[in-house]
Amino acid sequence: MKTEKTLDEKLRIAHEIYRVYGLNQKEHPRGNRTFPEDVEFLKNDKYDFAAVKWERNDATGGGGVEWTGWITLYYREKEKDGIAPFRELETEKIVTRDKNLQRNDKPHLWDFKYVGLKELEQDKVEVAWTNEKGIKGPTYQIKLEQITRV
């Protein structure tokens, strides 16, 4: 969700405090790139959570570009003797701009560049694509080890 913190500040928090690594932009051959659009955090008595909204842009030889978005939920159980490694779950990848056929584009999702993260139960959260106003787009309920689109 859009907050006062910049994406750079959120990425620094993810790296330094939560110790979630690899959230930087990834360059691929042929000009393709994957980058985080937003990061949100949540803690409860049992778990630490970090949710990241990703976008990947795939360039094609014919000049088209495909945009794909998804959310990765990073979570770990709190341990008394140190820090457990994060596990991760990914939602489905949604193509919002088709590289070949404009009629397959999903422009109604183009403004959803943020991630919302809300606790439902101790081991169940809701993650959602959100826009600048906090309105939800694709939404998922994640009971750890299981993802359900709602």
- Summarize pLDDT for 7-54 with one digit per residue, the tens: 888 888 887 766 776 676 665 555 578 888 999 999 999 898 999 999
Specify the pLDDT at position 104. Answer: 92
Instruction: Using alpha carbons only, give the angle 20, 73, 112 rounded to the nearest 5 degrees.
Output: 110
Q: Is the pLDDT of residue 76 over 80?
A: yes
Specify the pLDDT at position 31. Answer: 59
Pull the structure tokens for residue 57: 């842009």
Specify the pLDDT at position 21. Answer: 66
- How does pLDDT run across 95-125, given as a tens digit for each residue? 999 988 889 999 999 999 999 999 999 999 9
Rounded Cα gap, residues 139 and 23, in angstroms: 21
Rounded Cα gap, residues 91 and 69, in angstroms: 9
Task: Give the global pTM.
Answer: 0.85
Q: Per 3-state DSSP, what percentage of the chain is helix, strand, and coil (rounded to 5)?
A: 15, 50, 35
User: Please, which residues have CB within 8 angstroms of residue 121's CB and are 6 or more apart in sequence?
Assistant: 143
